[in-house]
């Protein structure tokens, strides 16, 4: 890592003829160009670069200028609170009536039966379950009604599709619902096989998934890898090949020509071992699309807390959503960032590291 920083910062060294102020200006221009972002000490707002139809600027990654959510979070995306696996009517009722502090509702969708009867249809359940008392249609309509009647307390929605069949079977429902949503909506799927030698879960077909998502430019794409991890795992990473495969899939399906917001859900214990690869992926995507990480973890997963904390502050609190058990969140102690204290510092840290990775890659391609 030290050699990489020395190599990419050498042209700006003390021996150069450009004064310090100009050096910083040039660096910020490069960072803004490479990451597709504007840097500001008090506020960060993404500016879409490149060709194509941009995503709705009021929706992209929850950075809503007039939103109560943003006034509450500032640019600290780790402050977003989650209700996870809201896959029943009881759990949805609890989130909508009792959990006023919840910002985002995450739920899983499978093809199954409502109350065990009738034909298969999109219902809220996590495999291997295929029976639910809540359909996708009712789930969305209830949240829409709540948000309509509770200004300032709106909930965002993350829809986790467990197969390509249920996603394509949900398109008519999404066609009817998403255009009426004035609040954040994410469409999630694991589209690639990932760590660690993961072969138990079949990924959602990427080409078919992206083809359907092109209908919903206002939604953010949450796209990840299937994973294999647990309490006894220590070694494993998102490899460079796996990150390259994600970038290739985005390119092949023209996602990087839309400016659509993207978040990469990464498993905490694995992401902690994958800082360099994830920096390269996000830096490449940020040339055209605003992108972030969403760090998640299952209860009982092994996580190297210090390495994960370094990753989070390396990217910056304004580029990382955190959906992990309370015990892990407490251990991370994100309210005490140390040298990464300010919003500007954490954003600059992300941008500078991304710049170095990009510069190194460009240099290697020329030799």
Give the global pTM: 0.75
Q: Which residues of 88-123 are buried (b: 16+ CB within 10 A; e: fewer)?
A: bbebbeebbeeeeebbbbbbbbbbbebeeeeeebbb
Q: Which of 4-13, 19-28, 268-277, 327-336 has the lowest mean pLDDT?
A: 4-13
Domain locations in the chain? 54-365
Residue 363 has pLDDT above 60, yes or no: no
At 199 the pLDDT is: 65
pLDDT in tens, 166-189: 999 999 999 999 999 999 999 999
At 232 the pLDDT is: 81
At 112 the pLDDT is: 98
The CATH class for the domain spanning 54-365 reads alpha beta
> Residue 150: which residues within 8 A CB-CB, separation 6 or more?
none
Distance of CA 145 to the CA centre of its chain: 26
Residue 9 has pLDDT above 70, yes or no: no
Q: How far apart are CA 84 and CA 106, in angstroms?
A: 5
Per-residue tokens: 238 = 């998102």
At 2 the pLDDT is: 30
Residue 264 has pLDDT above 60, yes or no: yes
Residue 347 has pLDDT above 60, yes or no: no
Inter-residue contact 173 to 122 (CB < 8 Å): yes
Inter-residue contact 255 to 210 (CB < 8 Å): yes
Inter-residue contact 261 to 61 (CB < 8 Å): yes
């Amino acid at each position: 890592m030290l050699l990489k920083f020395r190599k990419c910062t050498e042209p700006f060294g003390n021996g150069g003829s450009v004064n310090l102020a100009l050096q910083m200006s040039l660096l910020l221009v490069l960072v803004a160009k490479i990451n597709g972002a504007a840097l500001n000490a008090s506020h960060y707002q993404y500016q879409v670069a490149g060709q194509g139809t941009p995503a709705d600027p009021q929706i992209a990654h929850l950075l809503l200028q007039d939103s109560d959510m943003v006034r509450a979070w500032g640019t600290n995306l780790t402050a977003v609170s989650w209700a996870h696996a809201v896959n029943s009517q009881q759990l949805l009722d609890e989130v909508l009536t009792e959990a006023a502090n919840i910002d985002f509702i995450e739920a899983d969708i499978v093809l199954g039966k409502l109350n065990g009867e009738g034909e298969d249809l999109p219902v809220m359940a996590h495999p291997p379950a295929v029976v639910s008392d809540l359909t996708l249609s009712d789930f969305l309509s209830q949240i829409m009604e709540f948000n309509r009647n509770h200004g300032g307390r709106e909930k965002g929605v993350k829809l986790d599709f467990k197969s390509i069949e249920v996603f394509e079977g949900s398109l008519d429902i999404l066609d009817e619902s998403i255009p009426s949503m004035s609040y954040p909506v994410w469409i999630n799927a694991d589209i690639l096989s990932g760590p660690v030698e993961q072969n138990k879960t079949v990924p959602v077909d990427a080409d078919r998934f992206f083809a359907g998502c092109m209908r919903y430019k206002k939604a953010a794409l949450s796209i990840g890898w299937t994973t294999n991890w647990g309490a006894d795992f220590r070694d494993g990473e998102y490899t460079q090949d796996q990150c390259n495969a994600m970038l290739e899939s985005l390119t092949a399906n023209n996602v990087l020509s839309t400016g659509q917001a993207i978040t990469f859900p990464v498993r905490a214990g694995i992401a902690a071992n994958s800082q360099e690869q994830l920096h390269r992926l996000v830096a490449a995507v940020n040339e055209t699309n605003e992108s972030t990480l969403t760090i998640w973890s299952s209860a009982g997963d092994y996580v190297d807390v210090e390495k994960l904390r370094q990753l989070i502050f390396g990217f910056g609190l304004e580029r990382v959503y955190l959906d992990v058990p309370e015990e892990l969140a407490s251990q991370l102690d994100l309210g005490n960032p140390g040298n990464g204290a300010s919003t500007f510092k954490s954003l600059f840290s992300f941008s500078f590291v991304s710049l170095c990775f990009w510069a190194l890659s460009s240099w290697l391609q020329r030799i």
